[in-house]
Structure 1
């Protein structure tokens, strides 16, 4: 996912401040995901679970990222597509609901780990991070399709 982000940053970075900000937030989210999941280059030599506090901080970033997409970025992209052609408008209207499906995974993960008062929940973290990772990867691919339309046809 980090390599996919680097590709997106090379392709669209610097073309729009909103996109730059959004990609920066995606980078921070991915770094934190890799840290709590123990994925290279953030793997730990000690095989300890992250703290509940660390997981909750990740959840905050996750919800912020998802919210920013829905309430700021997608609206602007869809509006730009609506102004500039029916094919772009159709693609945007097709992608946004598919992106929204991944939101449920993010919100379920957030709810599970922010509302838990028992540290034992962390024993489920690997499985839950794996599922969340798949949802995030799908989301990023769909978001990148939106960015491509915006960049190619409307920049």
Structure 2
């Protein structure tokens, strides 16, 4: 996922302040994900469960990222795509429901781990992180396609 993010940053970085901020937030989310999942390069010397506080911080970051897309980024991208024609706008609008489907996985994860009072629930963390990673990878692919629509618009406008 980090490799795909780096490609996205190389391709679209610097083209739009909102996009740059959004990609940076995605990077922060992924770093935190790898940290709590205990994946390289963030692996602890000895594999152990993260603290409940660390998981709660990740949940907050996850919800912030998902919310930022829905309430700040997507509408602006669709509006920009509208300027380049109906087909661009239509494709962007097709992507939104597909992105929204992945939101449930993020919210379910958040609901389960935000109110954690005991470390017992953390025994499911690896399996839940795996499910979340699949949903987020799908989400990132759709978001990247949305950014591609925006990028194509700006490329045509600049020509």
2:72 corresponds to: 72
Q: Give the Å deviation of 1:84.
A: 2.0
Q: Which runs of 5+ in 2 are unaligned?
A: none
Once residues 117 and 35 of structure 2 are traced to their aligned partners in structure 1, the CA distance between those partners, rounded to angstroms, is 22
How much has 1:91 moved relative to structure 2?
0.5
- The count of aligned residue pairs is 155
> What value does the CA root-mean-square deviation take over the aligned residues?
0.9
Superposition misfits of 4+ residues, deviation over 3 angstroms:
none
The equivalent residue for 1:28 is: 28
Aligned partner of 1:52 in structure 2 is: 52
Q: Secondary structure at the match of 2:50?
A: coil
What is the TM-score with the length of structure 2 in the denominator?
0.95
* Residue 8 in structure 1 maps to residue 8 in structure 2: yes
Specify every segment of 5 or more residues in structure 1 that has no aligned partner in the other structure, as ranges.
none
Q: Which residue of 2 aligns with 1:42?
A: 42
Q: Deviations over 1:51-78 (max 9, x none)?
A: 0000000001000000000000000011
Q: Is residue 143 of structure 1 aligned with residue 143 of structure 2?
A: yes
Deviation, structure 1 residue 118:
2.0
TM-score (norm 1): 0.97
Secondary structure (helix, strand or coil) at the match of 1:117 reads coil
